[in-house]
Amino acid sequence: MQRIVTFVLLLSLLATVALAADLPKLRVGYIPEPAHGLYFVARDKGYFKEEGVDVELFQFGSAAEGMAALKAEKLDVGTFGTTAPLLFISKGSDFTFIGGIMIGGQAIITRPERLAELSGHDLKVYKGKKIGLVKLSTGDVVFKGALKRAGIDYKKEVTFVEFGSAAAVVEAVKKGAVDAGLVWPPHFSLAEKNQGLKVAHYIEEFYPKYTCCRIVAPTAKVNADKETYRRFLAALIRAYKFYKTNENETVAIYTKSLKIDEEIIRNETYVKKVAESNPDPLRKGILEFWQHILDAGYVPNDYPIDKHINIDIYKQALDSVIKKSPKDKTYQEMLAFYKKNN
């Protein structure tokens, strides 16, 4: 009897392995930011496999390296910010935005003694100030977009000082070389924890639901195998529901996968909610972001970016998930969000 049980178990194990081996594969690149954690939830909870896609995750130390890997076809999917894919596309690279992984997340830090001066919910407090930033980072582009929306001529009324990295921005704020600095997760949390700096504002306060890291893939691959990309996005949609409804386990998965302090992850993700892990493509947000880049004069020529955004695959993925759980509140909210932002 024992032999039969062992044999059956072995057979089922082999069948599982064979099934995984038969699944279409996607090589997915990401950068180590807490809000990119949906990938790990989808992997650890088995959603990728359940949806019928075999995903291998690759961490990159810089967006430029990640985009180069995507261009060299060493990856099938990548999430490397919004600027990087836009720059590549505007130079002729044929990538398509198919989804997102992060919304929001940018913060303005300052020294504790400057906090009162920068308080309140009016961007006018930044008039006449010197702001450190990393050129073309999400914070740079979106903050300038927020200033423009608020009617502030940032080219004349604010001084921007550009640095090569978020760490250099933090250092400049600490030294007093700038009045405030724009950084992203987990840099502002680390700056608060390790350097004694303070967050003056999250840009979300002035510019709700702005786009951050987008999911892009080579257009030819997307067009050749839409079904695999739909499965991939369906798994992320289910991971989003898990993240919205299972705080402790999500924090544990993010912490284990990203090796970032658990307290920082919990704080950014669930306490202050400075960034949201969300797979929606946010088409309108991408187009606004591109316009902000043009307005800032970073790129001389417009480009038909909209031709490189595919919202249909995400919609099909969302529909397929909703079909299985038609009354699920989270999925219905995602559908409403999709309709509003695409």
Partner 1 sequence: MIRLLVTTVLMATLLLTGAAPGSADQERLFRLGYLDNLGSALCRIAQLKGHFAQEGLKVALVRFGDSQGGLAALEQGNIDAGAFLVGEGLRAIAQGRGFRFVAGGGLLTATGPLAELDSRVQQQLDLSGTVVFIPATGPATEKETVTRLTAALIRAYGSSRQQPDILPLGQSGADQPITRFDPSPEYYRLERLWKRLALQSPAMPADFLANHVYEEIYCDALDRLLEDSPDDKLLQELSARAVCVPDCCPKNKNPK
Residues forming contacts to partner 1 in the complex (CB under 8 A) are 31-33, 59-64, 67-68, 80-81, 83-84, 87-88, 91-94, 134-137, 140, 161-168, 171-172, 177, 184, 186-187, 190, 258-260, 298-301
- For 7-64, give the DSSP string: HHHHHHHHHHHHHHHHSPEEEEEE-S-GGGGHHHHHHHTTHHHHHT-EEEEEE-S-HH
Could you tell me the smallest distance in angstroms from the CB atom of residue 141 to partner 1? 9
Choose among 142, 125, 124: nearest CA to 133: 142
> Cβ neighbours of residue 73 under 8 Å, at least 6 residues apart?
218
What residues does 182 pair with on adjacent strands? Answer: 108
Shorter beta-carbon distance to partner 1: residue 41 or 191:
191
CB of 137 to partner 1, least distance (A): 4
Q: Which is closer to partner 1, CB of 125 or CB of 161?
A: 161
Q: Of 340, 102, 82, which Cα lies nearest the Cα of 240?
A: 102
CB of 65 to partner 1, least distance (A): 8
Q: Which of 83, 31, 34 is nearest to 190 (CA)?
A: 34
Whether 30 contacts 216, CB under 8 Å: no
- Min. distance of Cβ 188 from partner 1 in angstroms? 12
| Triad 33, 37, 39: Cα angle to 5° | 125
Which is closer to partner 1, CB of 61 or CB of 326?
Answer: 61
**64 vs 115, which CB is nearer to partner 1?**
64
Residue 176 has a CB neighbour count (10 Å cut-off) of: 11
- In the bound state with partner 1, the residue whose beta carbon lies nearer, of 228 and 257, is 257
| Nearer of residues 30 and 240 to partner 1, judged by Cβ | 30
Exposure on the CB side of residue 85, measured as CA atoms within 13 A: 32
How far from each other are the two terminal CA atoms of the chain, in whole angstroms? 59
Cβ 170 vs Cβ 219: under 8 Å: no
- For partner 1, the closer of residues 92 and 326 by Cβ is 92
**Shortest distance (Å) from residue 329 CB to partner 1:** 34
Least distance to partner 1, CB of residue 72, Å: 11
Q: How far is the CB of 226 from partner 1 (least distance, A)?
A: 22
d(C-alpha 222, C-alpha 228), whole Å: 8
- Name the token pair of 164: 């090569």
